[in-house]
């Protein structure tokens, strides 16, 4: 018997990110998160990495013209309802992405943009150079709606030490320029209390987390920021989207398979598992 299918178009979510061949982080993980949340995913690659669960060996940034052409061609045919930005590698690619966002903004549609300010991998490799970080702060930040730094990234972006919650809150307030609508979700997965703090429209919100004892922590930042974008595309507020993304990532760590010899991938489709069997 033919099953009546719902042919309503899913929202298109674009990820601008690096390629991790081990599928734990970067654009392949982002696409898995989009699918798990009922979004159709497109992607523009900023860098190839030689990488496994044991770490990053090598990074090869994409040619800036190739990235610009990819974004322009996708925009003509599959304009995204929302954009997630991850690894950007260098200042030339940050400039391309900022130019692209300006054209999207000029069209006038409301397209939520979530930036995961990836600078260093958890295995210690540099994924954004110093020029890229400076460009991200001056060119990209004014064009995004939500930024999701972890504590290390917040320190790099603000030049302050974020040793405890009050210090994190003042760094967040400093990052949010006066009058700007930028929402900041400071992720705390690596801290002793794995709580996230959201600063949106002048108010702080604390999202309590629970520690999951697992080695499957590779790509948690990528998956979280992609899930936040999907929440926004479903009509949730920033705080609700961050709360839902946090629960999603906790589940993805909880149900992860033991893969690889290092920090393995999460189970990004865990919600479709038959957990009663």
Residue 117 found at the interface with ligand PLP (CB under 6 A): no
Rounded-to-integer distance, Cα 238 and Cα 235, Å: 9
Q: Spell out, one character per residue from 12 to 51, where the chain touches ligand PLP: x when CB under 6 A holds, - when not.
A: -----xxxx----xx----------------------x-x
Among 35, 123, 139, 237, binds ligand PLP (CB under 6 A): 123
Residues 6+ apart with CB under 8 A from 58: 49, 50
CB 21 within 8 A of CB 77: no
| Minimum gap (Å) between residue 75 Cβ and ligand PLP | 22
Q: Which is nearer to ligand PLP, 7 or 225 (CB)?
A: 225
Structure tokens at 170: 């003042």
Residue 221 found at the interface with ligand PLP (CB under 6 A): yes
Residue 150 found at the interface with ligand PLP (CB under 6 A): no
Residue 86 found at the interface with ligand PLP (CB under 6 A): yes
CB 88 within 8 A of CB 136: yes
Q: Which is nearer to ligand PLP, 55 or 79 (CB)?
A: 55
Residue range at the interface with ligand PLP (CB under 6 A); choices 68-76, 115-123, 164-172, 202-210: 115-123
Rounded-to-integer distance, Cα 91 and Cα 277, Å: 49
Residues 6+ apart with CB under 8 A from 203: none
128 three-class SS: strand
Q: Spell out, one character per residue from 183 to 212, where the chain touches ligand PLP: x when CB under 6 A holds, - when not.
A: ------------------------------
Q: How many residues make contact with ligand PLP (CB under 6 A)?
A: 20
Structure tokens at 66: 């190739």
Q: Which is nearer to ligand PLP, 117 or 231 (CB)?
A: 117
| Minimum gap (Å) between residue 33 Cβ and ligand PLP | 12
Alpha carbon 48 to chain centroid, angstroms = 17
Binders of ligand PLP in range 87-106 (CB under 6 A):
87
**Beta strand extents in the chain (DSSP E only):** 12-19, 40-52, 55-61, 82-85, 113-115, 146-147, 183-186, 196-200, 203-207
Rounded-to-integer distance, Cα 88 and Cα 90, Å: 6
Among 14, 222, 245, 268, binds ligand PLP (CB under 6 A): 222
Rounded-to-integer distance, Cα 132 and Cα 190, Å: 24
Residue 67 found at the interface with ligand PLP (CB under 6 A): no
Contact residues for ligand PLP, defined by CB under 6 A: 17-20, 25-26, 49, 51, 56, 86-87, 118, 121-123, 218-222
């Amino acid at each position: 018997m033919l099953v009546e299918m719902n042919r309503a178009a899913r929202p298109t979510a674009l990820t601008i990110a690096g390629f991790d061949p081990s599928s734990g982080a970067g654009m392949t993980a982002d696409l898995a998160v989009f699918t798990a949340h009922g979004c159709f995913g497109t992607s523009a690659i900023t860098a190839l990495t030689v990488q496994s669960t044991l770490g990053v060996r090598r990074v090869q940034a994409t040619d800036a013209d190739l990235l610009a052409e990819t974004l322009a061609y996708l925009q003509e045919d599959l304009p995204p309802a929302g954009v997630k930005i991850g690894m950007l590698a260098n200042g030339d690619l940050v400039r391309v992405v900022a130019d692209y966002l300006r054209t999207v903004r000029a069209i006038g549609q409301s397209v939520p943009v979530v930036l995961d300010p990836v600078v260093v991998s958890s295995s210690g490799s540099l994924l954004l150079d110093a020029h890229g970080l400076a460009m991200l702060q001056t060119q990209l930040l004014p064009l995004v709606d939500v930024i999701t730094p972890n504590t290390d990234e917040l320190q790099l972006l603000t030049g302050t030490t974020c040793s405890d919650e009050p210090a994190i809150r003042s760094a967040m307030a400093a990052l949010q320029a006066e009058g700007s609508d930028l929402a900041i979700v400071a992720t705390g997965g690596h801290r002793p209390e794995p709580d996230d703090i959201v600063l949106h429209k002048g108010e702080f919100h604390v999202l309590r987390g629970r520690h999951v004892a697992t080695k499957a922590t590779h790509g948690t930042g990528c998956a979280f920021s992609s899930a936040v974008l999907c929440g926004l595309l479903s009509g949730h507020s920033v705080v609700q989207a961050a709360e839902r993304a946090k629960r999603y990532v906790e589940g993805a760590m909880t149900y992860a398979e033991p893969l690889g010899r290092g920090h393995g991938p999460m189970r990004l489709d865990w919600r479709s598992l038959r957990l009663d069997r």
